[in-house]
């Protein structure tokens, strides 16, 4: 019998081509689309996923490919696991990464289990630009061929046991190649723009989303230089993130960076370039793909669009991983994801504290 693959159809080009490639390989392909929000539409220049239009686009693609299509309403689950987490982290003064949490708890991890148990699928496939590799430590995630599109960073929290039932058909393709395949086969969404925004904010910044939905009490507070001198007022902590340089709203004789956000005192601490650098980063809630005793020559990435930083030393105790970098780097924002790599292999991921 053919192996059955459920493809997470988002209504975009990447997931549509993933379904096409798997069908061409002879798999029994079905499509599954998640309804995660009540967003109906967005401005034409703003592309987000999970809107009602995206569900309709996914239905069009499934019909075009001649595959079964299922829509699952997980709005309550998404609210609990992702949006509530997002809001709570901002209330703590952190800068969360909702996409990584969503991949772990909803779109990839939870969906893989649902596809297997409810839809009798052998695998779940997604349109992520990453690869899987069989090693002596079992399956591990590797960066995709297209380094400009590599999305392994966002999968750093997905539990290792899920990897055996995941497939990533686009790992060995570039984005341009995927576009060409979509055009060649005349897939209905071949010209659709990519989504870059946080899906549930509908194109708004996190601060705008929190303010418009009255999810955070925006209070003015002091902006204080690391020396103790008050420089001005901030417009609410969610408007700022660690490492930010532009838009702080105060002047100084040298460029300033956000060093810290103190939720308890409602204060933002700023400093100069020498103050923003650190050679230490700590993470909690570590998700291991490869046991730590087998790590060597590792690097870390604490932002999606960041060049990996080489690691000098690392320590793990009481579920906290402490990393010493070879060279000081701009400090990372608490709440973001720290991904640990050995060359292209993803070894672990955790939440920065």
- Per annotation, catalytic residue among 49, 50, 99, 102: 102
- Per annotation, catalytic residue among 49, 50, 99, 199: 199
φ and ψ at residue 339, rounded to 5 degrees:
-105, 135
Q: What share of the chain is helix, strand, coil (3-state, %, to 5)?
A: 30, 30, 40
User: Is 199 annotated as catalytic?
Assistant: yes
DSSP-based three-state secondary structure for 314: strand
Cα–Cα distance, 160 to 264 (Å, whole number): 36
User: Is 50 annotated as catalytic?
Assistant: no
Alpha helix segments (H runs only) across the chain = 13-24, 52-65, 75-78, 84-91, 98-102, 109-117, 175-184, 206-212, 273-276
DSSP-assigned letter for residue 276: H
Cα–Cα distance, 174 to 296 (Å, whole number): 29
Buried b (16+ CB within 10 A) or exposed e, 306-318: eebbebeebebee
Cα–Cα distance, 69 to 330 (Å, whole number): 45
Annotated catalytic residues are 102, 199
């Amino acid at each position: 019998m053919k192996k059955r693959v459920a493809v997470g159809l988002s209504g975009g080009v990447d997931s549509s081509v993933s379904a096409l490639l798997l069908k061409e390989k002879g798999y029994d392909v079905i499509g599954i689309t998640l309804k995660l929000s009540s967003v109906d539409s967005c401005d034409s220049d703003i592309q987000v996923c999970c809107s009602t239009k995206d569900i309709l686009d996914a239905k069009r693609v499934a019909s075009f490919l001649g595959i079964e299509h299922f829509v699952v309403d997980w709005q309550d689950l998404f609210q609990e696991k992702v949006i509530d987490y997002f809001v709570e982290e901002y209330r703590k003064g952190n800068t969360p990464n909702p996409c990584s949490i969503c991949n772990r708890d909803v779109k990839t991890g939870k969906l893989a289990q649902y596809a297997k148990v409810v839809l009798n699928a052998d695998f779940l496939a997604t349109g992520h630009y990453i690869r899987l590799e069989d090693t002596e430590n079992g399956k591990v995630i590797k960066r995709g061929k297209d380094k400009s599109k590599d999305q392994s960073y966002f999968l750093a929290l997905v539990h290792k046991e899920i990897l055996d039932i995941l497939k990533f058909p686009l790992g060995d393709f570039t984005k341009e190649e995927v576009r060409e395949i979509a055009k060649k086969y005349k897939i209905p969404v071949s010209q659709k723009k990519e989504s870059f925004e946080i899906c549930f904010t509908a194109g708004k910044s996190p601060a705008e989303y929190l303010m418009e939905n009255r999810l955070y009490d925006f209070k003015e507070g002091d902006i204080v230089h690391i020396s103790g001198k008050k420089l001005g007022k901030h417009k609410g902590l969610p408007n700022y993130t660690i490492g930010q340089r532009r838009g702080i709203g105060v002047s100084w004789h040298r460029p300033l960076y956000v060093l810290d956000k103190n939720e308890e005192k409602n204060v933002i601490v700023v400093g100069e370039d020498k103050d923003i650098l650190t050679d230490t980063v700590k993470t909690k809630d570590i998700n291991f793909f490869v046991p730590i005793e087998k790590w060597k020559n590792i690097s870390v990435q604490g932002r999606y669009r960041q060049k990996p930083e080489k690691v000098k030393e690392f320590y793990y105790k009481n579920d906290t991983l402490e990393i010493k970098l070879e060279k000081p780097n701009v400090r990372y924002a608490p709440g973001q994801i720290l991904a640990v790599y050995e060359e292209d292999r993803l070894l672990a991921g955790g939440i920065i504290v």
